[in-house]
Every structure is written in structure tokens, then in C-alpha cells.
């Protein structure tokens, strides 16, 4: 990306990036990281996507996560840039920094939820909802919280699949490979959490408040018409 293109992207982002969008990105980062820190990490449920791939590579090849994670993220963002342009990268930088900042905040605080280690299914459901809703808020604003989001968005654009299907395709592949060093019981809980988070991301991203309001107004209008007809 040359200097002129970067300046144009920044101007476009500045024109469209309202305080409401920034607030949604920050809220999404807070919700997602809260669930990962207080549920997934404590119960030791593994992840799909880039995080799961990083753990897999670290286990079998011994490459530190601090090295492999940025490499994988850069590769995914490079692919996304070709399809979504510089605007997507700039917004994703905001969300990625927010995610990193909230991870630091939660690590400074004591656990805020009960330990669900004895209830892995409940942990998988709750964790999936936190990650799905949080990531969905970020993706809804046109960004991503990390390389796995960028990869899923790229696959969705290229194949025409729903976003939930794109997340599931990459997550299931990584979870299947993770069976090489993780027990089937833990993998089963991880499959449940990625199914829930993928569906939640798709719902939050595509949810239309205006359509819901329009449907409600239509229902009220029909009810009023029916009442008038009955009066006649």
C-alpha cells in the first residue's frame, strides 16, 4: 500500500468511523476477551482458527506462539487486503488493539465468573456466546479481531458461503488436527463452542434492527386495522 492509498483509506475511515462504531468495536472486544479469559482459558477449552493453529504448531514444531501468531495474522490480513482494501485493515487495527488491551486488563483482575471446570458443556456454551457476540459486533462494523476473522471473511467472500460456514470450515479442520495431542472429550467441548460462536457471529453481523422495527410497526398497523373492522 503506497502513501497516497493509505491517506485515502484513512480519510475514508475517518469519514465513516462514528463514535457509535468505535463504541461497538470496543464493546465487542471487551465481551469476546472476557469470555476467553474467564471461561476458555480456565476450563482449557481449545480454539479453532488461528489460535488453534498456533497451539498446534507450537506443540509439534516448538515454534513460540509470540513468533508464529503475528506471522499467521499477517498472512490472513494480506489475503483480506486484496479483497476488502485498506479500509478493512485500518478498522481491524483498531479492533485488534482493543482486543489486546482488554486481554491485558482482564489479566490484571481476579476471575469474574465461577469456575466451570466441572461443567465443560456449560463452559462451552457460555464461552461460545461470549466469543460469538463480541466478535459479531466487531465484524458488523467492517473489521476483525484477529487473523482468524480475516480468514473467515475472505473465505466467505470468495466462496459465497455464509460467514458461520466459513468459520466452521476452518475451526473444524484445526480441531480435527488437534486430536493428535488433545483428548476427544476436550475436542468435543471445543466443537460445541465453535459451533455456537460461529452461529452467534452470523446472527449478530446480519441482524437488522430496522427490519425488526418495520415488522413491529406492521404488526401494530394490522392490529389497529382489525380493531377498526370489528368496530364497524
Contact 106, 173 (CB under 8 A): no
Nearest Cα neighbor of 200 from 176, 157, 175, 167 is 167
The domain spans of the chain are: 3-231
Q: Which residues contact 169 (CB under 8 A, 6 or more apart)?
A: 155, 161
Digits of tens for pLDDT over the chain (232 positions)?
Answer: 556 666 666 666 666 677 888 899 899 989 988 988 888 878 877 767 777 787 788 778 888 766 777 788 888 888 888 888 777 877 788 887 888 788 888 888 888 888 888 888 898 899 889 989 998 998 888 877 778 888 888 999 999 998 888 888 888 888 888 888 878 888 888 889 888 988 898 899 888 755 554 455 555 555 555 555 555 5
Contact 49, 170 (CB under 8 A): yes
Q: Phi and psi (nearest 5°) for 52?
A: -65, -40
**138 with 91: CB under 8 angstroms?**
no
Amino acid at each position: 500500500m503506497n502513501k497516497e492509498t493509505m491517506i485515502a483509506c484513512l480519510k475514508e475511515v475517518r469519514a465513516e468511523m462514528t463514535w457509535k462504531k468505535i463504541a461497538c468495536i470496543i464493546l465487542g472486544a471487551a465481551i469476546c476477551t472476557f469470555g476467553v479469559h474467564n471461561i476458555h482459558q480456565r476450563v482449557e477449552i481449545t480454539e479453532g482458527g488461528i489460535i488453534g493453529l498456533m497451539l498446534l504448531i507450537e506443540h509439534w514444531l516448538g515454534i513460540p506462539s509470540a513468533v508464529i501468531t503475528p506471522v499467521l495474522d499477517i498472512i490472513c490480513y494480506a489475503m483480506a487486503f486484496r479483497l476488502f482494501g485498506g479500509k478493512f485493515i485500518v478498522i481491524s487495527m483498531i479492533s485488534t488493539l482493543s482486543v489486546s488491551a482488554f486481554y491485558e486488563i482482564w489479566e490484571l483482575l481476579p476471575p469474574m465468573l465461577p469456575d466451570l471446570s466441572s461443567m465443560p458443556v456449560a463452559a462451552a456454551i457460555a464461552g461460545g456466546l461470549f466469543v460469538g457476540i463480541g466478535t459479531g459486533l466487531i465484524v458488523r462494523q467492517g473489521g476483525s479481531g484477529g487473523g482468524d476473522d480475516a480468514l473467515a471473511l475472505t473465505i466467505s467472500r470468495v466462496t459465497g458461503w455464509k460467514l458461520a460456514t466459513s468459520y466452521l470450515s476452518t475451526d473444524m479442520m484445526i480441531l480435527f488436527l488437534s486430536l493428535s495431542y488433545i483428548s476427544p472429550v476436550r475436542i468435543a467441548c471445543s466443537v460445541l463452542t465453535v459451533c455456537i460462536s460461529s452461529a452467534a457471529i452470523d446472527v449478530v453481523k446480519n441482524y437488522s434492527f430496522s427490519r425488526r422495527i418495520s415488522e413491529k410497526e406492521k404488526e401494530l398497523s394490522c392490529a389497529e386495522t382489525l380493531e377498526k373492522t370489528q368496530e364497524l
